[in-house]
């Protein structure tokens, strides 16, 4: 399966995301900190990043923008993990460079379906 980097500071959400991802065979890299996440993304080249938006210190939107600005990590898809539900948030998330988002609290099937769809999309050859 795939190596997936999860950047999430809430222990319950991290535990649940890790459990769900491992239950379908993915390898999980985890950190609670955006800066550590940027380093892990460069060094380990995960197939996908799950990015909490609200993090202590650098937030997930800023971290995503930095990932997408760096040639070493720009191709890695980023799915935002967001409790934000106000109108305009999806636009902010897309503007930062996120490829999609998953709302918290996680709905198990939707969580895994969103990830499977993103991984399938990234593994297809680019269209001319």
Q: Which stretches of the chain bind Mn ion, using CB under 5 A?
A: 9, 52, 54
- As a whole number of angstroms, the distance between CA 69 and CA 84 comes to 24
- Residue in 69, 4, 61, 71 with CA at minimum distance from that of residue 34: 61
Residue 121: CB minimum distance to Mn ion, A:
26
Q: Nearer to Mn ion by C-beta: 1 or 15?
A: 15
Cis peptide bond prior to 128, omega within 30° of 0:
no
Residue 6: CB minimum distance to Mn ion, A:
12
Residue 74: CB minimum distance to Mn ion, A:
24
Q: Nearer to Mn ion by C-beta: 9 or 33?
A: 9
Q: Nearer to Mn ion by C-beta: 54 or 122?
A: 54
Q: 42 is written with which tokens?
A: 């460069």
DSSP 126: P
């Amino acid at each position: 399966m795939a190596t997936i980097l999860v950047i999430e500071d809430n222990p319950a959400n991290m535990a649940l995301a890790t459990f769900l991802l491992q239950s379908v065979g993915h390898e999980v890299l985890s950190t609670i900190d955006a800066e550590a996440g940027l380093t892990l993304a460069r060094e380990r080249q995960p197939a996908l990043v799950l990015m909490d938006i609200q993090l202590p210190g650098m937030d997930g939107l800023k971290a995503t923008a930095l990932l997408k600005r760096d040639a070493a990590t720009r191709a890695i898809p980023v799915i935002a993990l967001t409790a934000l539900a106000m109108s305009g948030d999806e636009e902010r998330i897309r503007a930062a460079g996120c490829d999609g988002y998953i709302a918290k609290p996680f709905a198990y099937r939707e969580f895994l379906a969103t990830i499977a769809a993103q991984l399938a999309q990234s593994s297809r050859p680019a269209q001319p």
